[in-house]
Amino acid sequence: MRVGVIGLGYVGLPLAVEFAKAGLDVTGFDVDRSKVDSVNNGTTYIPDVEPAELESCVKAGRLRGTTDMSKLGEMDAIDICVPTPLRKTKDPDLSYIVMAVDAVAEVPHRGKLVILESTTYPGTTDEVVQPKLEAGGLQAEVDFFLAFSPERVDPGNPQFKTSNIPKVVGGIGPKSTELAAALYGHIVKEVVPVSSTRVAEMVKLLENTFRAVNIGLANEIALMSHNMDIDVWEVIDAAKTKPFGFMPFYPGPGLGGHCIPVDPFYLSWKARQNGFECRFIELAGHVNASMPGYVVERIADALNTVKKSLNGSRVHLFGVAYKKNVGDMRESPALDVLELLLKRGAVVTYTDPWVPKLQQGSHTFESITEDAALNAKPDCAVICTDHSAFDYNRIVKDAALIVDSRNALKARKEPSIFRL
């Protein structure tokens, strides 16, 4: 079987490699020439893809990349894994999906299986994708087959990869569902068929909205606990000893990544189109969005204890990626913390072994080493992302003040440490 994967990012490339490892003939499509060249050279740019596995698939002739969308006509199955960001108005931006589907529609697609994996609102597959593919006279479920299967990738997770995460599949009809399930059956241990594309689309939004809402609750409990002089981390650790009815979620500097900060807005936007107001979801979003500002207030509180103002103080951020042990900067709350610090007159530097350089507005920053950072004796060190590479014992020893937004210094009781 010839499988095409459109979009060679953190979802598409691991998927393409798994298909190739299973013995299928795989072509990866992307408009980014550098990604295509890297794939063809057997060089990975996604941490979750093992270099040896990618190189082996390319050398065996089972995987190659291209920018030539006309080659989609040669594929038997096409998997669309393109970004789905939000516009500034917090409305869904389907432009990447539309471009990918238009490329498929322009080639002969009779008999093909087309699967959308990009996270989106319920109804996208049958309201947007299906009409475009049927515009030339072909009929879904008769002349070609169409399904939705939400990506469930967790970048940097050493335990769960593409191959051992159950795959939810919902087709336009039973034939489409059956064919999509058969395709994924080559690469995953468990396929979970559902009754429609809309159910499959809703599954992904529920999963990530569930996380966003519960993290919002944890953040609100953290704010409340601070006002009551209670250690929220101790509260959560004790609560999670209950073997039923409780699942631990943790506060932090805000939400990051492509999915959790974005997906609830897809759901609430679609709900509004149907006359339903998602008050609970939007309230959680408001709490989560306020956390970078709260972290900055904790930094100001810490500096006040040594009679220093935030304006003019040297603040060093440890970690700017959105989560531990990845270099992904999408929606990272550390960027909001950095921006707020700059607005209040702080002199900001950062260390992140995963992010060598970043651009924030008109400012360009480069990561400095942990040694250089601590030798410079910053007025306050802030743990924004708890990377494993950091020497936390040394940070505690050498930093005058520390604001720990991730509980990386759990059980440390030094008076120089300030938590959420």
Helix (H, G, I), strand (E, B) or coil at 101: helix
What whole-number distance in Å separates Cα of residue 66 and Cα of residue 80?
15
Are 97 and 79 spatial neighbours (Cβ–Cβ below 8 Å)? no
Active site (annotated) includes residue 259? yes
Strands 357-360 and 363-366: antiparallel
Helix (H, G, I), strand (E, B) or coil at 397: helix
Backbone angles phi, psi at 380, to 5 degrees: -150, 135
Helix (H, G, I), strand (E, B) or coil at 174: helix
Residue 83's H or E segment, with its range, is none
What whole-number distance in Å separates Cα of residue 420 and Cα of residue 369?
26
Nearest CA-CA partner of 120 in 309, 258, 292:
258
How far is CA 351 from each of CA 328, 336, 369, 386, 392, rounded to the nearest angstrom? 15, 16, 6, 11, 13
Residue 31's H or E segment, with its range, is none
Residues in the chain: 420
Starting at the earlier edge strand, list the strands of the sheet with 402-404.
347-351, 314-318, 380-383, 402-404, 417-419
Are 204 and 116 spatial neighbours (Cβ–Cβ below 8 Å)? no
Range 391-394 contact pairs with CB under 8 angstroms and sequence separation of 24 or more:
394/370
Number of Cα atoms under 13 Å in the Cβ half of residue 242: 9
How far is CA 72 from each of CA 2, 24, 235, 395, rounded to the nearest angstrom? 10, 15, 54, 52
Catalytic residue among 57, 259, 278, 384: 259
Q: Which residues are catalytic?
A: 259
